Amino acid sequence: MKNPTDLALLVGINTYPAMGSLQGAENDVLEFEKWLIDPLGGGMDPNRVWKVLGSQLNPVPPTHAYEARPWSLDVYAKIRQLKQNIPDSGAYPLKGRRLYLFFSGHGFSPEFNETALFMANAAHDALGENVPGFALVNYMLGSGWFEEYVLIMDCCRDFISTATKGTHSMPNLPPHPEADPKFAYFYAVPQANKVPERKLGPNGEMQGIFTASVLEAFRGHKTDPNGKVTKQTVKEYLYAAMLDRLGNGVSARVDGHDIVIAEDMTPQKTKVTVRLKSESTKPIELKDGSTLAVLDTITPSAGQFSLELEFGTYFLSQVGSQEIKPFTAYGARYEVEF
């Protein structure tokens, strides 16, 4: 096992009686869990992946917001469990190398760098029932519990002016003088934007487009020159993937320390299918967007052709023509019309 001391808290909520329910949030958790315990991914001990799922906490599907779970105490109870049940390593209160916090459901953005996940019992008269992710990491950051914190939030970042940021009211943790933690956060969209779910799961299940994109990035669709997946490579990959998938000119928000997510990765390639709009058989050049170098010259013989490309921007042009068709290769499959 690569990372036996890592710990993860995953929260997924599909059923919101007062807000309109989702279909993919709990799938997001299960797909992220697969990556966490994959020896080629997070390399974690499955027993250290803790889940808070609406479907597990509600024996009968709730019809009223006030009876729906999880509520914020369910999430904070896991932090208390972490505090009490995961032993410190000796005198230094280190509980592990890295803590992943992954939240999926409805959300909003109470402050420009904050994203809060609404709990299942949130409603107009209970908008304070939310867990702010940034504040939660901040609460633990100086304690020396973990060396690294990774916060991923797949939820809308609506601006709801009548909502208050949830308060955790847990006793403050004493700061540890030796703590030098690193923290990276990954939000689906900028403030005041929404993020949808689509049938992007492995078997066509509903999934948040952000989670699907994060997992592609974590699995090495973009690596640095040393084969590492880092916060920075994920940020660059998500910028392209979310811009294209959202299609409204906005993209993901990623910031923080340049934490190494995975190492020794071979860059995953994208199968790009080029569908030709005309029946011309003139040769087509594929150029690298970074260098403008010609990578390939293709003489089309049918209505389409395929390419295997690493993540990046390329363009197509017919030999002798000034017109270019730029595109970004990302994900497992990508289609271009030319």
Q: Which is nearer to other proteins, 34 or 168 (CB)?
A: 168
C-alpha to C-alpha distance for 335 and 43, rounded to whole angstroms:
33
Q: Which of 182, 239, 258, 271 binds other proteins (CB under 8 A)?
A: 239
**Rule CB under 8 A: which of 122-141 touch other proteins?**
124, 128
Give yes or no for residue 246 binding other proteins (CB under 8 A): no
110 binds other proteins (CB under 8 A): yes
- Contact range with other proteins by CB under 8 A, out of 50-58, 198-206, 260-268, 306-314: 306-314
Residue whose CB is less far from other proteins, 166 or 201: 166
Max CA-CA distance within the chain? 73
Give residue 106's identity as a one-letter amino acid code. H
Name the one range near other proteins by CB under 8 A: 41-49, 53-61, 102-110, 200-208.
102-110
By beta-carbon proximity to other proteins, the closer residue of 49 and 134 is: 134
315 phi/psi in degrees, rounded to 5: -145, 155
- Burial of 235 by CB count in 10 Å (0-12 exposed, 13-18 middle, 19+ buried)? buried
Sign of the Cα pseudo-torsion (133, 134, 135, 140, in order): positive
Site membership for other proteins, residue 164 (CB under 8 A):
yes
Of 37 and 192, nearer to other proteins (C-beta) is 192
Please give the backbone phi and psi of residue 287, each rounded to the nearest 5 degrees, phi first.
-115, 150
H or E, element range at 257: none
The only residue of 56, 81, 89, 113 in contact with other proteins, by rule CB under 8 A? 113
Token pair, residue 324, equals 């270019």
Copy the structure tokens of residue 80: 């208390």
Tokens of 334: 């990508």
Q: Applying CB under 8 A, does 236 fall inside the site for other proteins?
A: yes
Which of helix, strand or coil describes residue 120?
coil
Determine how β-strand 269-275 pairs with β-strand 333-337: parallel
Q: Smallest distance from the beta carbon of 281 to other proteins, in angstroms? A: 26
Tell me if 157 sits within 8 A of 191, measured CB to CB: yes
Residue 249, amino acid: G
| Ranges within 59-88 binding other proteins (CB under 8 A) | 73, 76, 80
For residue 103, the surrounding DSSP H or E stretch is strand 96-104
User: What's the CA angle centered on 58, arms 123 and 78, to 5 degrees?
Assistant: 85
Q: Judged by CB under 8 A, does residue 298 bind other proteins?
A: no
Whichever of 43 and 289 has its CB closer to other proteins, that residue is: 289
Least distance in angstroms from the C-beta of 300 to other proteins:
22
Among the listed ranges 28-36, 96-104, 195-203, 232-240, the one in contact with other proteins (CB under 8 A) is 232-240
Near other proteins by CB under 8 A, which window of 47-55, 186-194, 258-266, 267-275?
186-194
The Cα–Cα gap between 130 and 317 comes to: 50
User: By CB under 8 A, what part of segment 21-50 binds other proteins?
Assistant: none
- The rounded distance, in Å, linking the Cα atoms of 20 and 18 is 6
183: contact with other proteins by CB under 8 A: no
- 285 near other proteins, judged by CB under 8 A: no
Binding flag, residue 160, other proteins (CB under 8 A):
yes
105 binds other proteins per the rule CB under 8 A: no
Contact 35, 28 (CB under 8 A): no
Binding site for other proteins (CB under 8 A): 18-20, 73, 76, 80, 106, 108, 110-114, 124, 128, 158-165, 167, 169-172, 190-193, 222, 236-237, 239-240, 243, 249-251, 288-292, 311-315, 324, 326, 328
